[in-house]
Amino acid sequence: MPDQQTLPGIEPTPTLALVRDFTQQPGCDAYTGDSKKIDLMVTFLWLRQLTPGLTFEVFLEKFAPLADFNAENRKHPIDALKFHCPRSKGPAEKLGKPQWSAKECVGILSLYVDLCRLADSQGLEPGSYANFDQYLEMDAPALKAGEIDLPETPKKPKKTKARAGDPAPADPDTGLVPTNNPIRPSEPAQRIVYEMEAEGGRQIRGVTEAVFQDGERWYVKFIADTGERWEAVNLEHCTLLDEPPPPQREDVVERGKLTVPKATYQQAQQALALEAPMGNVELGQLIYPFTHGFQCGVSADINVVNGETGPYVEAQLYKNDDETILSELDPRQQLTGEYRFETEKGVIVLEVDARS
């Protein structure tokens, strides 16, 4: 291997000397131990993948003012979000703040990202406008009070016709699949895409569990890639796909099962079918809460929540001892199915079904 000093573009100062000098700066002394040095260099290598050309020297310079981040100073965005927009009931009551839903957190995060993008387009430097913690302090109460509109995800346009007789391929630019292709699913274990005409052509990929007839119509039961189980969708809105299912992590730590009483399930599904908020429940409040505890010391909340465009399912995994949220999933419209919570220690899976 060539001597480091002979390589073009490499400074002669050894990396560990740079780390040593870094730890002697104010607020950086927590990184003197080997474990924290590992964290520091792994963080650099992760960011370097996202920002090709990032040097270790520049990383240390930029990271130094943030190195002492904690829950009190809220320099890390996740700490700011937990403080100003608590997701769990216990922390919300302790802080004297209203409980936030995942959808509301997504909304206020997207508003701040919009602010950053606008600042970038105008050539403004970070520090010339409010950081995330300051922004939440100013605008989180207003958004929660309804004084600021919560942004919605724009619906994707419906795509054009695919060539008859071929399994439907995905558009390389948009990832969407034309669903007026005549090839329909006919049996279990087939890869499909289901198009929801009522939602502007929204497409949901999954794998069939059954194809059945009820009266004159044919229906498909399938499990979506998100884990949602769709019990009976119109066969004519499903298209056979020429693609493999997405890969999933196999390091499953524990599996659990939650069975919802039939009457409660039917009531929850009726609520989820609404396209407007339930009038007798406040926005963001729980309608039907469900909880399942795992042997590994964590629990999962599967809650039907009242939203601005109608009720939805919110799922999160948290520690039993301090209610720290370990994983949360995107909002769903179906209660039953598989909930895969990905954590640092592995995947925890909860299967939710309805008692027949």
CB-CB contact of 101 with 310 (8 Å): no
In a shared domain, residues 257 and 282: yes
In a shared domain, residues 222 and 161: yes
* Residue-level pLDDT at 103: 85
In a shared domain, residues 192 and 283: no
Among the three residues 144, 176, 192, which one is the final residue of a domain in this structure? 144
* Residue-level pLDDT at 340: 95
Query: 158: closest CA among 202, 194, 192?
Result: 202
The predicted model scores a pTM of 0.52
In a shared domain, residues 256 and 346: yes
* Residue-level pLDDT at 78: 92
* Residue-level pLDDT at 250: 86
CB-CB contact of 192 with 210 (8 Å): no
Task: Say which CATH number the domain at 177 has.
Answer: 2.30.30
- From first to last of its 356 residues, the chain has per-residue pLDDT tens of 344 444 555 556 899 999 999 999 999 999 999 999 999 999 999 899 988 889 999 999 999 999 999 989 999 999 999 999 998 888 888 899 999 988 889 889 999 998 888 888 888 888 888 899 999 999 999 888 888 887 877 665 444 433 445 566 776 666 667 666 568 888 999 999 898 876 566 789 999 999 998 888 899 999 999 999 998 899 888 888 888 888 888 899 999 999 999 889 989 988 998 888 888 888 888 999 999 999 999 999 999 999 888 899 999 999 998 888 999 998 999 999 999 999 988 999 999 998 76
Whether 151 is in a domain gets the answer no
Computed on alpha carbons and rounded to an integer, the radius of gyration of the chain in Å comes to 24
Query: 230: closest CA among 241, 240, 219?
Result: 219
The Cβ of residue 92 has, within 10 Å, a number of other Cβ atoms equal to 15
Alpha helices in 6-99 (DSSP H): 15-23, 34-50, 56-63, 77-84, 89-95
Query: 316: closest CA among 343, 282, 283?
Result: 343
CB-CB contact of 293 with 301 (8 Å): no
* Residue-level pLDDT at 10: 53
Whether 3 is in a domain gets the answer no
Tokens of 134: 């300051």
In a shared domain, residues 20 and 61: yes
Number of folded domains that form the chain: 4
In a shared domain, residues 124 and 176: no
In a shared domain, residues 313 and 260: yes
In a shared domain, residues 57 and 102: no
Please spell the DSSP secondary structure of 327-354, one letter per residue.
EE---BS-SSEEEEEEETTEEEEEEEEE
Among the three residues 120, 144, 168, which one is the final residue of a domain in this structure? 144
Whether 2 is in a domain gets the answer no
Residue 151's DSSP bridge partners are none
Whether 303 is in a domain gets the answer yes
In a shared domain, residues 276 and 348: yes
Phi and psi, residue 206, nearest 5° = -175, -165
Beta strands in 45-119 (DSSP E): none
CB-CB contact of 224 with 206 (8 Å): yes
In a shared domain, residues 180 and 112: no
In a shared domain, residues 216 and 162: yes
State which residues form the domain around 187: 157-247
